[in-house]
Chain A
Amino acid sequence: MEDIEHIEKEMKLIKADGRRLDGRKADELRPVRIEAGVLRRADGSAYIEWGGNKVLAAVYGPREAHPRHLQDPARALVQCRYNMAPFSVSDRKRPGPDRRSVEISKVISEAFSAVVFKEQFPRTSVDIFIEVLQADAGTRCAGLTAASVALADAGVPMRDLVASCASGKIDGVVCVDLNKEEDNFGDADCPMAIVPRTGEIVLLQMDGHLTYDEFQKAMEMSIGATHRLYELQRDALRRRYSTTLEDILKESPPVPPPPMPESELPPPPEDDFGPEGI
C-alpha cells in the first residue's frame, strides 16, 4: 500500500505552482519547428519537430491510382500511410503496419479528403506518406500538420491547410499537447484537426474520461493551439517560397531592353491630361 502511494506521489504530473513537469502552462504548446520542401524525389515534403517528435511527410501526386479498381472516375483518392520507424520508440517496433497505424492512416486520409479539391483530378490518387522518426506522444497531430504543409508544397489544390493538436486531462487538469509521460499517465487524450479558416473539424478522436465541461475546455485549447500551428505552417511555406526582389536580382541581373528602332516607337498616348495638365 505504501509503495502504491509512493508511486502515485511520483506520478504527480502537475506541480504545486500549477505548471506541468516540463514547465509548461496548461494551454502551452511544446516548441514546434516546421520546414517545407526537404526531400528531392517527393512532389512535396515537410519536416516537423514538435517537442520530442521528429516526423517527415511526403506527398506524391495527383498520380495514376493503383490498383486500378480503386480508381474513382469522378474524383481523386486521398490516401495516407502513417508509419513508425522501428527505432522511433523505446521498445523497437516491428516494421510494417499494425492495427494502430492502419487506423491512424485512415482518419488522416479522411481529414485531408475534406479539403483537397478531389474533383479536379478524376481517376488519380494523392498519396501522403508520414514517417515518424522519433516519437514523443502526439505523432498523428505532428504528422498531419506536416503532411498539410507537404500537400501545399506539392501544389495540390486545397481549400485550406489543416492544423492538428491534441488536448487531454492530467491530474484532473485539462491541458493541451500532452507529452509522453502525460499521455501514459494522464486521464484522457483527445486529438483533433481543424480547417483554421472555416473552423470545420476534420479529425476527432478521444479516449479516457472527460466531463462535457472538460471536453469543451479541451476543444477550446486545441482550437487555440491549431491557430498558432497554422501560423507556423504558413511561415514554413513563406520561407520556402517567398523571394525578395534582391534574391531575384542576385540570380539574374536585369538585362536592359534592346533599343527600339525610331520608326516603331508607339505614338505618345493621347489623353485629356496632356503635358500642360488640366
Chain B
Amino acid sequence: MSEEIVSELMRAHVYRLASTGQRVDGRVLDEPRKVAIQRSFVKTAEGSARAKLGNTDILVGIKMSVGEPYPDTPNTGVLSTSVELIPMASPTFEAGPPRPDAIELARVVDRGIRESKMVNMEKLCITPKEKVWIMFIDIHVLDFDGNLFDACSYGAVAALASTVVPAKNLGLGEDFALPIEHWPVSVTTAKIKDLLVVDPSLDEERMADARITVTTDENGDIRAMQKGLSGSFSYDEVKRIIETAQRVGRAIRPVLRSS
C-alpha cells in the first residue's frame, strides 16, 4: 500500500518477536486488533459507519439513487464501491484519480459484499429492465495504520446494515431498511518470511512478502479471496489461513451486527 521504508532494526525486531509468537503491539499472531464501529455517523447519507481497526480509521457512507439496471441483470439493483485514499490519512497518499491499490481495495471489499449476497439485490428492483436502486458505497480512509482491506470491509458491512432506502422521498412507497441476508467478514493475513500474522499493523504490512484476504459468511463458507504482493503461499499455509479466517470471522461478526 505504501512506499515507506521499514528500518532494518524494526524488521529484525518484528521478525524475532513473531518467531516466538509475539508482536510489537502485544498481540499473538492470529489475533486481530480491536474493532470499533460507530453507526449512523453522517446524517446526509442513507447509511454510514465509522470503523476503527486499531488505529486505522475509516468512514463509509451509503448513498441510494434510482437508475437503470445492467442489461444482463434486469431484475437486480446495482452496487458500486469506491475507496478514496485521501492524503489526510497518510504521508504517502496523494490526491488525484484512484491508483491501482485503491482500485484493488475497492474491488476486494465490493466482492466480499456482492458474492456473499449480503444484500438481496433482487429486492432493489423497482421496474424490471427500467428502474432499480443503485447503492453507492463510498469509503473514506481517514487515518491509515495498516490493513485497509479489513477495516474498509467492516465499515461497509456496518454502514449497509444501517441503511434506510429513501423510497418515500422519491414517491416509491414507504422507506425500508436494506434487505440484509448474510454477514460477510473479511480477514487479512500477511506473510513475513515464513510466518503468518493476522490483521497486519502498518509496519508488518510494509515488510510483508505476501498478503491474502479471505471473506467468509456466517456458515464459515468462503465467499471471496484475494492474494496480493509478490510473495507466495504453500497450499498448507492457505488452509491454515482459511481456518483462522473462519475463527476470527466468527469472533468479529457479532461486533458488526450489533453495533
Taking Cβ atoms with an 8 Å cutoff, the residues of A that contact B are 39-42, 45, 52, 54, 56, 58, 60, 63, 81, 83, 85-92, 95-97, 127, 129, 131, 133-135
Contacts and interface: CB of A to CB of B under 8 A. Distances in A.
Contact of B43 (A45, A60, A131, A134): A134
A41 B143 contact: yes
A39 B88 contact: yes
Give the bracket for the number of chain B residues in contact with chain A: 20 to 34
Interface of B: 41-45, 48, 55, 57, 59, 61-63, 65, 82, 84, 86-91, 95, 97, 136, 138, 140, 142-145
A131 B86 contact: yes
B97 A81 contact: no
Nearest to B46: A87
Contact of B42 (A42, A60, A81, A133): A133
A86 B87 contact: no
20 contacts: A39-B142, A40-B145, A41-B89, A41-B90, A52-B43, A54-B41, A56-B142, A60-B91, A81-B95, A86-B61, A86-B136, A86-B138, A87-B42, A88-B44, A88-B45, A88-B61, A95-B82, A96-B97, A129-B87, A134-B43
Given A56-B142, A92-B63, A92-B136, A87 B87 contact: no
Closest 8 CB pairs of A and B: A87-B61, A87-B45, A92-B63, A129-B88, A86-B138, A58-B88, A39-B143, A134-B42
Contacts of B90: 41
A81 B91 CA distance: 14
A92 B138 contact: yes
Contacts of B143: 39-42
Contacts of B88: 39, 42, 45, 56, 58, 129, 131
Nearest to B159: A87
B89 A87 contact: no
A133 B87 contact: no
A92 B140 contact: no
B43 A85 contact: no
Contacts of B95: 81, 83, 97
A85 B143 CA distance: 15
Nearest to B169: A90
Given A56-B142, A89-B44, A95-B82, A63 B91 contact: yes
A135 B87 contact: no
B114 to A, nearest CB: 19
A97 B94 CA distance: 13
Contacts of A129: 86-88
Contact of B44 (A56, A87, A131): A87
